[in-house]
């Protein structure tokens, strides 16, 4: 990092100054290590909890970051202590330059010379075609989303009849040996809440870890209903009818709480963002496909990198990028406010934020 003094302003107010250098620590002492990089808002599925069936407002193509721009931001972030990049979207495998992005991001090293870890969250559909190249390019870990094993349900939930393609993607990942392999499932009442045990068994058969996610108010259609969401406690009650669950200690900054099943070695995870938020240990920030930095999934404020990257704002230097990263971290609130009556859902749907 250059250490050049930088002043970052938003709406005329100076929000960060001369901030280059050191780890990305927020006002509450949380050190940021994990950058989620959304590569696109486009997707091959239309999951009801994420995207509308039709009429989605796509990000302008001209605003989508190029590989060079992504690598530039990621390199500055790594210099400031980010150690993990997670590629997401939308569907990250729809980027035609995905292998190039992967190779260039995996080659980034931190200030201590250690390589970053490169992970991806995907719907899995294009994995059979792309996985060998992605692994060769340096992809280290995969999360694949699968909410149901029943074809009719999958078609209704994702509005696309692609279950067989997702299953082939999971098989490809399991066979390729990337571990830990994680499978994500959003638990939904009267949709898949009778399938929780089956999903865990399916994951065990593939030597993968199932992680159930509480549904969050992030769908572009704004249809989330607290009364209907399946809670962590309900999930655990269901799983306890089949296995004896023992908490796994040392969760660190991980979003999932984990339990061993019948003493292990298999585990199940629950990401309870709504009923048991883990904001106090959050070490994540997000870069959207159109160059906005976000300090929380639920944030309504974004920190725009495009003027620095494209228009030379604040000198257009790496120090200026670093300044925006720090402004974003300094603006982070202690927690999300989903449970406050005043909660406002972000304008972007999950596909445009990056899950």
Q: Which stretches of the chain bind ligand SAM, using CB under 6 A?
A: 43, 49-50, 88-89, 91, 121-123, 145, 184, 186, 213, 215-216, 218-219, 350-351, 355
**Among ligand SAM, ligand SF4, none, what binds residue 51 when CB lies within 5 to 8 Å by partner kind?**
ligand SF4
Judged by CB under 6 A, the chain residues 47 through 86 that form the site for ligand SF4 are 47, 50-51
Query: What residues contact residue 238 under an 8 Å CB cut-off, 6+ apart?
Result: 193, 196, 197
Residue 145 or 295 with smaller CB distance to ligand SF4 = 145
The two structure tokens encoding residue 328: 């974003």
Q: How far is the CB of 334 from ligand SAM (least distance, A)?
A: 21
Sole binder of ligand SF4 in the list 91, 195, 257, 302 (CB under 6 A): 91
User: d(Cα 198, Cα 212) in Å, to the nearest integer?
Assistant: 12
User: d(Cα 213, Cα 207) in Å, to the nearest integer?
Assistant: 19
**Among ligand SF4, ligand SAM, none, what binds residue 184 when CB lies within 5 to 8 Å by partner kind?**
ligand SAM
| Size of the chain in residues | 355
Q: How far is the CB of 47 from ligand SAM (least distance, A)?
A: 6
Sign of CA dihedral 139, 145, 151, 157: negative
**Among ligand SAM, ligand SF4, none, what binds residue 269 when CB lies within 5 to 8 Å by partner kind?**
none
CB atoms within 10 A of CB 28: 12
CB atoms within 10 A of CB 314: 18
Residue 49 or 259 with smaller CB distance to ligand SF4 = 49
Q: How far is the CB of 306 from ligand SF4 (least distance, A)?
A: 22
User: d(Cα 151, Cα 156) in Å, to the nearest integer?
Assistant: 9
The two structure tokens encoding residue 203: 């994951």
Sign of CA dihedral 202, 166, 42, 49: negative
Containing 37, the helix (H) or strand (E) segment is strand 34-38
**Among ligand SAM, ligand SF4, none, what binds residue 46 when CB lies within 5 to 8 Å by partner kind?**
ligand SF4
**Among ligand SAM, ligand SF4, none, what binds residue 216 when CB lies within 5 to 8 Å by partner kind?**
ligand SAM
Q: How far is the CB of 215 from ligand SAM (least distance, A)?
A: 5
Distances (CA, A) of 225 to 49, 213, 218: 11, 15, 11
User: d(Cα 69, Cα 98) in Å, to the nearest integer?
Assistant: 14
Sole binder of ligand SF4 in the list 89, 92, 138, 323 (CB under 6 A): 89
Residue 155 or 330 with smaller CB distance to ligand SAM = 155
Judged by CB under 6 A, the chain residues 167 through 206 that form the site for ligand SF4 are none
Sole binder of ligand SF4 in the list 26, 86, 90, 232 (CB under 6 A): 90
Q: What is the DSSP string of 15-27?
A: EEES--SS--B-T
- The SS3 assignment for 317 reads coil
Sole binder of ligand SF4 in the list 84, 123, 215, 295 (CB under 6 A): 123
Residue 158 or 295 with smaller CB distance to ligand SF4 = 158
Q: Is 46 in the site for ligand SF4 (CB under 6 A)?
A: yes
User: d(Cα 97, Cα 171) in Å, to the nearest integer?
Assistant: 24
Q: How far is the CB of 119 from ligand SAM (least distance, A)?
A: 11
Query: What residues contact residue 205 under an 8 Å CB cut-off, 6+ apart?
Result: none
Q: Is 147 in the site for ligand SF4 (CB under 6 A)?
A: no
Give me the residues that bind ligand SF4 (CB under 6 A), please: 43, 45-47, 50-51, 89-91, 123, 145, 350-351
């Amino acid at each position: 990092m250059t250490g050049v003094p930088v002043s970052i302003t938003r709406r005329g107010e100076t929000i960060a100054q001369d901030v280059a250098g050191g780890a990305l620590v927020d006002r509450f002492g949380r050190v940021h290590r994990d950058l989620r990089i959304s590569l696109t808002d486009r997707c091959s599925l239309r999951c009801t909890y994420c995207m509308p069936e039709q009429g989605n407002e796509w990000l302008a193509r001209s605003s989508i970051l190029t590989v060079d721009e992504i690598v530039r931001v990621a390199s500055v972030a790594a210099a400031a202590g980010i150690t993990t990049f997670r590629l997401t979207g939308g569907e990250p495998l729809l980027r035609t330059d995905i292998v190039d992005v992967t190779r260039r991001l995996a080659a980034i090293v931190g200030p201590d010379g250690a390589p970053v870890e490169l992970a991806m969250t995907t719907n899995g559909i294009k994995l059979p075609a792309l996985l060998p190249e992605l692994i060769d390019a340096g992809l280290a870990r995969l999360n694949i989303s699968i909410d149901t094993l029943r074809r009719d349900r999958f078609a209704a939930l994702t509005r696309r009849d692609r279950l067989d393609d997702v299953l082939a993607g999971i098989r490809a990942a399991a066979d390729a040996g990337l571990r830990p392999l994680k499978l994500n499932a959003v638990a939904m009442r009267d949709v898949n809440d009778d399938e929780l045990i089956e999903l865990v068994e399916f994951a065990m058969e593939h030597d993968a870890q199932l992680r159930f996610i509480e549904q969050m108010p992030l769908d572009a259609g704004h249809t989330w209903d607290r009364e209907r969401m399946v809670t962590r406690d309900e999930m655990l009650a269901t799983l306890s009818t089949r296995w004896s669950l023992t908490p796994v200690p040392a969760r660190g900054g991980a979003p999932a709480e984990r339990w061993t099943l019948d003493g292990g070695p298999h585990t199940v995870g629950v990401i309870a963002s709504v009923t048991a938020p883990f904001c106090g240990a959050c070490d994540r920030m997000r870069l959207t496909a159109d160059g906005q930095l976000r300090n929380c999934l639920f944030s309504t404020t974004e920190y725009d990198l495009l003027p620095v990257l494209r228009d030379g704002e604040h000198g257009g230097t790496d120090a200026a990028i670093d300044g925006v990263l720090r402004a974003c971290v300094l603006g982070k609130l202690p927690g999300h406010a989903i449970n406050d009556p005043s909660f406002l859902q972000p304008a972007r749907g999950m596909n445009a934020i990056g899950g």
